Amino acid sequence: MTEQRQARPYVEEAMSADAVVVQENGRWVVYLDVVLASGAVRRKVADEHDERRAQQSARIIEHNARRCIPRLVTRDPSEFLPPHRIDHRPVDDDDRGVQ
């Protein structure tokens, strides 16, 4: 009997994350809005009885979500190397300046 490995689900990296506090039916609800390359998603992550607790939850949740996002966007553009040109044409001696 051979074991089959289960395929791992594709997990897309987030580009940004923001926590939003909204009052709904007398409660304060915290939503996490995450922007992905394929679109955006909103998830309800907390439900508090007062606004102060909801704001504190939102700060903690947003901070932890942003820690997992790669910092490529916030880096200085001068740190990146220029892209290398890939040329698939065959190389002739004349092109290299060899005689």
Is residue 62 included in any domain, yes or no? yes
User: What pLDDT is stored for residue 29 in this prediction?
Assistant: 97
Domain annotation covers residue 2: no
In the prediction, which pLDDT does 37 show?
A: 83
Q: Which domain holds residue 35?
A: 11-73
Cβ(36)–Cβ(30) under 8 Å?
no
Tell me whether residue 19 is in a domain: yes
Tens digit of each residue's pLDDT (9 = 90 or more) over 18-36: 999 999 999 999 999 998 8
- Residue numbers in the chain where pLDDT is lower than 50: none
Is residue 86 assigned to a domain?
no
User: How many Cα neighbours within 13 Å face the side chain of 92?
Assistant: 2
How many domains does the chain contain in total? 1
Q: How far apart are CA 21 and CA 80, in angstroms?
A: 37
Does any domain span residue 95? no
